[in-house]
A and B are shown apart, each in its own frame.
Chain A
């Protein structure tokens, strides 16, 4: 059974650009959550999608957005990149989502903004 796949694994962008990250969940999983991980802040919740709808959202500015497709694959977009957006972006999938459901993480996308 394939795990959660995130692409690309590494990305370098310049300030002001935008970036799109992709996450393919485990087959059958309908919930995808996104997280930002930095050395100083640790893991922070960005948002969760379930059945193509954003169900939960963390405290990030509107430059961070996402969407989920009918096959449960999800994309995350960051516009007008800032140096502080450099981080490891992780996605996690689960069967039904919700706070009591087991979540499985991908390897992450390492974004560097220069």
Chain B
């Protein structure tokens, strides 16, 4: 069964700290993996998109990694800011379908 699982479900960190979000998938055939950030009440915004051959991609303070062998991805946020508080969603494309994780809710506190 094609699935995308994210952990942790929620996370609270202090401003300025780093954190890492995880995404494990069982989807095949794999096309690409995306990380989205969704602020409350808004649509998701793309952070990174990685294909099979890419294992690291950065977007400012966001760095995504992909291990296609173990079917795992992580999103590392460096020097967190209050504006990083949001839901982070991992999306895996396979065949002609998109498979979504249920997201990690991140709260950054002062």
Binding site for B on A (CB under 8 A): 4, 33, 41-45, 55-56, 58, 90, 92, 99-100, 102-108
* Chain A hits for B51, CB < 8 A: 100
Q: Are B101 and A108 in contact (CB under 8 A)?
A: no
Chain B interfacial residues counted at CB < 8 A: 22
* Chain A hits for B45, CB < 8 A: 105
A26 to chain B, nearest CB (A): 12
Question: B25 within 8 Å of A by Cβ?
Answer: no
Q: Are A106 and B43 in contact (CB under 8 A)?
A: yes
Q: Are B101 and A100 in contact (CB under 8 A)?
A: no
Number of A-B contacts (CB under 8 A): 48
Binding site for A on B (CB under 8 A): 31-32, 36, 41-46, 49, 51, 89, 91, 93-94, 96-98, 100-103
27 A-B pairs in the complex with CB atoms less than 8 angstroms apart: A42-B100, A42-B103, A43-B89, A43-B100, A44-B100, A45-B97, A45-B98, A56-B96, A56-B97, A58-B97, A99-B31, A99-B32, A99-B93, A99-B94, A99-B98, A100-B49, A100-B51, A100-B93, A102-B49, A105-B36, A105-B44, A105-B45, A106-B43, A107-B41, A107-B42, A107-B43, A108-B42
A2 to chain B, nearest CB (A): 14
Distance A104 CA – B36 CA, assembled complex (angstroms): 10
User: 5 tightest CB-CB pairs across the interface, nearest first?
Assistant: A105-B43, A99-B93, A42-B102, A43-B100, A99-B31
**Given A58-B97, A102-B49, A108-B42, 16 more contacts at CB 8 Å?**
A41-B102, A42-B89, A42-B100, A42-B101, A55-B96, A56-B96, A90-B43, A90-B44, A99-B31, A100-B32, A102-B46, A103-B46, A104-B46, A105-B36, A105-B43, A108-B43
* Chain B hits for A92, CB < 8 A: 43
B29 to chain A, nearest CB (A): 10
